[in-house]
Structure 1
């Protein structure tokens, strides 16, 4: 799926901007302390409320800071301590819905607030942050203003308050700067908080020249296809609101280099209206895979995946392959990288003494084969030279099949036990490598088991509340076969009969493959897994093994913070 900044945005008029400024004893958030807080709440261009307080930092204020701010030690001596002021400013920041924190050089102020929260055991609310310094650098190029300091910008935008290194006055000046910057950005198409935060540079001339392409597009969910002057596809995306999303490509909110480059050659946009958001996501995936537009980075080559299997031999071994065959062997995946597939394979080899050699072994046909170093190390029973019988080896192969298709407990126990040993010996890098192998195995096993379970269902109908009614989908063998919205006042029985009758006829694929791109089935699984989704019809059974990889889903987030569905 492609990026959807601006799909569902908070209009700037609905945002409560808390414009904040801090005075401190120094520049280090960990070593210095807050001496004064000033904040102004602004909504719809109108000041609603102000908050200010001196803060007793509990440490001496350096002379140069007093010279800069005018705040002396005697002024803060009777001021409340940080643990009293902090809850008040956080309440001011969070008591309104759709609130954003605004500051000039926001990382400085946010850093001090976060450090104070950590110091006093208060959770940081993590509001969206708007940095007027970053915005000014994007909107006002060099030469338009002497620099981007608060005092310079306040004078440029005609602030009635001159910044003077006192928190409330500086916050008031920042209010004027924020308003001036928003006034500059509004004609460029920036109308939501999300778009405002995405601004890093003004739109190019080519972007501005193509804003008209969004005119007339429906405000409906669907897929959009950007084309060049010859009608060739350039980029495919999806949105809940086609007009708003396409318009965002030609505003300052669009800052991806490749997409800005694409704006120079776009000549048209083709909208494909979809009944539901799920249908839009699926159609986007299918079109990208089919047409492979040059400006799409993701999903262009779904065929370039890897699977881990056990070879269908008398003495099976783990192998990384690019296709799933109808050979009765277990498969886990798909993996988007060969390296991750190799990690999953290594997890099997760590837990079970499976062979790694590529000899074609047959029972009784091992003459002339010498056991390799893996067998000498005790990590393989050496069926190659007859040391291990076929029956004994079959037990290991069946254990691998069980871990791949059903119960992964034994494989997980083998890894977690060794990880604990390595960690106890302070061998953290080796423990992390083993953890990553286990996580890779579980990710692939979970994907295959979940997809295989849905792919085995010949017909399923599910529904859930949507913006205009009940989004209803027909899924057959893991493929989206139909999608429509049951609107209020419609006869549900007649609607369902019509939807099922017109749904695509879908046959089964080779297990665990669905009759669709794996990415499509994962989108469907995520939609079906939503708490609001309700099953209407299911032919057959839709089940996963009780002790499948799904039972260890938490471990799939271990390695490098990657998500379970890449």
Structure 2
């Protein structure tokens, strides 16, 4: 006896073509440019399962002249559109007519391009419908012997359309309906029975994408992380999904147009999946897998430990240095070395900390004062003019700024840029504004992440939207355990079990206790979401009152001013 096949889920079936609503549209215009020409007529037919549900047809006043060549082609004269409604009145009605349907057109880029341009011009949001081009589908389905030309008139004759296309919108839309149905009959025997399969059948899908659709067949419909693996088991790409099967299947459809990802799909031999309790666990696992495997087709977060930090050196007269490994008093991480250098330069402008790189002995400096000392920006400890005790306040001011205990350097930087602005030295003021804004952003991020990383253990819960809870155990900024308490399940026993089995996290060096900044950022973002509740916290979670976050309002104004200046340029 042949074993029965398991019934497919709706996700596996997709959207059956027989229940899909199509709106077949055709436009007549004054020309072919969406910037210089305008729509003169719209015709559309709404169909489902071979049945016409409605039609839409209207002339449109283009508010400009119609070229004689266009009049000769379409038969639409200036007199015909003089009393026609303007596009501003027609477009909302058409968008309502086409709402919720797949948009179909012969040479769809032309018609859809005009409709999108019209929405942009009149301030209507583009609804982003699925779009099907019958010309493109015909080139995919029909052989050149069968259809030497894929023009609408030729296809209408081939499929015995009941309406002859005559370059009038409604007639051409009706002819396109018959062409669409004829093409759908051709793809059915090829195994195309859903909208997703139809879109995947278009020419944009490479042969490798189509051939490897089965790689997603075994994946669960659950949140998690997926890994594309190559012929030598190497990890090519890592991603996250709230529904693993649905997300991975998208890599084998026309919706995936990125060239490098298509290349990756062509190389992939297998897709592995790691189910996760909820999206936070998936995001964290993705970051850790990226750091572990460095997949060649991922572009972000592959090297989380390669940031740049600004630290105080460990010597008698400390200075600011840009390094790879943080210390307890450090600012960062910066993704670019130049950003870290600019932060150092900003601090050196207002804090009398030496900019030189000399190794100075506390007992016998034996040097000569440099130009910076002569300018009054350094106490010249290299020449013995400043002792360790006299130099210490500058070091403490930097440490206090990093810890959020003191923000006077920020105030001094703001006062200086205001003086430049009052003197109408706007270019220099702009440079100092951008430098201060970058420093405020870096300090804000550091202080927020450091406050979370300092907590030995924190347990939080977030509603899962179905009456249950998503649970997370966080230790020193890292996700140590994740789980869920479904609706009807008492959450506290689940919390106790998660805490008992959570990963042991030993604090490391640096302000983030050794945790990667990307992971702490992801965890903190989840914790501060609306609805999240703290279940347990080993110590109070607080951020410094005089930290850089108190400069948020100034930062918003500075960024708005920069955007306005860029727009003026």
In terms of Rg, which structure is larger? 2
CA–CA separation in structure 1 for the residues paired with 2:507 and 2:22 = 54
- Equivalent in 203, 208, 211 of residue 206 of structure 2: 203
- Equivalent in 288, 294, 313 of residue 286 of structure 1: 288
What is the deviation of 1:128?
1.3
What is aligned with 1:218?
A: 220
What is aligned with 1:455?
A: 453
What is the deviation of 1:322?
0.6
Moved more, 309-318 or 64-73: 309-318
- May I ask how many residue pairs the two structures share in their alignment? 543
What is the deviation of 1:525?
1.7
CA–CA separation in structure 1 for the residues paired with 2:245 and 2:408 = 50
What is the deviation of 1:265?
4.6
Q: What whole-Å deviation, never above 9, does each CA across 1:244-280 have from its counterpart, x for those lacking one? A: 3333444444444444444455443433222222222
Gap change, CA 1:315 and 1:37, over 3 Å in 2: farther
CA–CA separation in structure 1 for the residues paired with 2:423 and 2:111 = 41
- Equivalent in 234, 238, 241 of residue 239 of structure 1: 241
Moved more, 124-133 or 406-415: 406-415
Aligned 1:345-424 pairs, distance under 5 A: 345-349=344-348, 354-361=353-360, 366-372=365-371, 374=372, 384-385=382-383, 397-406=395-404, 411=410, 414=413, 418=417
Aligned 1:394-543 pairs, distance under 5 A: 397-406=395-404, 411=410, 414=413, 418=417, 437-466=435-464, 469-514=468-513, 516-543=515-542
- Equivalent in 88, 109, 133 of residue 83 of structure 1: 88
Q: What whole-Å deviation, never above 9, does each CA across 1:110-132 have from its counterpart, x for those lacking one? A: 6655655566xx43313215554
- Equivalent in 270, 273, 279 of residue 271 of structure 1: 273
Moved more, 217-226 or 263-272: 263-272
CA contact (8 A) 1:135 1:181 kept: no
Q: What whole-Å deviation, never above 9, does each CA across 1:351-392 have from its counterpart, x for those lacking one? A: 6565432123456755423313x5566766655556778778
What is aligned with 2:338?
A: 339
CA contact (8 A) 1:101 1:127 kept: no
CA–CA separation in structure 1 for the residues paired with 2:178 and 2:347 = 62
Gap change, CA 1:321 and 1:99, over 3 Å in 2: farther
CA–CA separation in structure 1 for the residues paired with 2:452 and 2:240 = 24
CA contact (8 A) 2:139 2:150 kept: no
Q: What whole-Å deviation, never above 9, does each CA across 1:65-89 have from its counterpart, x for those lacking one? A: 2222221111111112333334433
Q: What whole-Å deviation, never above 9, does each CA across 1:8-28 have from its counterpart, x for those lacking one? A: 999576876555444333344
What is aligned with 1:123?
A: 123
CA–CA separation in structure 1 for the residues paired with 2:452 and 2:111 = 50
What is the deviation of 1:483?
1.2
Q: What whole-Å deviation, never above 9, does each CA across 1:427-461 have from its counterpart, x for those lacking one? A: 66x77765654454344323322221111122222
Gap change, CA 1:542 and 1:108, over 3 Å in 2: farther
What is aligned with 2:136?
A: 136
CA contact (8 A) 1:310 1:316 kept: yes
What is the deviation of 1:482?
1.2
CA–CA separation in structure 2 for the residues paired with 1:424 and 1:108 = 54
CA–CA separation in structure 2 for the residues paired with 1:75 and 1:29 = 22
CA contact (8 A) 2:141 2:187 kept: no
CA–CA separation in structure 2 for the residues paired with 1:305 and 1:197 = 40
Gap change, CA 1:270 and 1:24, over 3 Å in 2: closer
Establish whether residue 72 from structure 1 lines up as the match of residue 77 from structure 2.
Answer: yes
CA–CA separation in structure 2 for the residues paired with 1:141 and 1:99 = 23
Gap change, CA 1:32 and 1:273, over 3 Å in 2: closer
CA–CA separation in structure 1 for the residues paired with 2:156 and 2:408 = 64
Gap change, CA 1:22 and 1:264, over 3 Å in 2: closer
- So what's the TM-score if we normalise by structure 2? 0.77
CA–CA separation in structure 2 for the residues paired with 1:159 and 1:424 = 76
What is the deviation of 1:494?
2.1
What is aligned with 1:564?
A: none
What is aligned with 1:305?
A: 307
Gap change, CA 1:213 and 1:76, over 3 Å in 2: closer
What is aligned with 1:4?
A: none
CA–CA separation in structure 2 for the residues paired with 1:210 and 1:473 = 36
Q: What whole-Å deviation, never above 9, does each CA across 1:90-113 have from its counterpart, x for those lacking one? A: 4445xx4x5665555666556655
Gap change, CA 1:86 and 1:257, over 3 Å in 2: closer
Q: What whole-Å deviation, never above 9, does each CA across 1:530-559 have from its counterpart, x for those lacking one? A: 223232222211122345444537589889
Q: What whole-Å deviation, never above 9, does each CA across 1:41-79 have from its counterpart, x for those lacking one? A: 456776544333222233322222222222111111111
CA–CA separation in structure 1 for the residues paired with 2:166 and 2:407 = 65
The gaps in structure 2 that reach 5 residues or longer are 1-10, 564-569
Aligned 1:146-161 pairs, distance under 5 A: 146=148, 160-161=162-163
CA contact (8 A) 2:24 2:173 kept: yes
CA contact (8 A) 1:188 1:208 kept: no
Gap change, CA 1:83 and 1:511, over 3 Å in 2: same
CA–CA separation in structure 2 for the residues paired with 1:140 and 1:100 = 19
Gap change, CA 1:139 and 1:371, over 3 Å in 2: farther
3-state SS of the aligned residue for 2:368? coil
Structure ranking higher on relative contact order (CA contacts 8 Å, 6+ apart) = 1
RMSD over aligned CA atoms reads: 4.6
Gap change, CA 1:189 and 1:82, over 3 Å in 2: closer
Moved more, 64-73 or 337-346: 337-346
What is the deviation of 1:40?
4.1
Moved more, 499-508 or 352-361: 352-361
CA contact (8 A) 1:310 1:319 kept: yes
What is the deviation of 1:39?
3.8
Gap change, CA 1:209 and 1:140, over 3 Å in 2: closer
Gap change, CA 1:269 and 1:131, over 3 Å in 2: closer
CA contact (8 A) 2:197 2:253 kept: no
3-state SS of the aligned residue for 2:331? strand
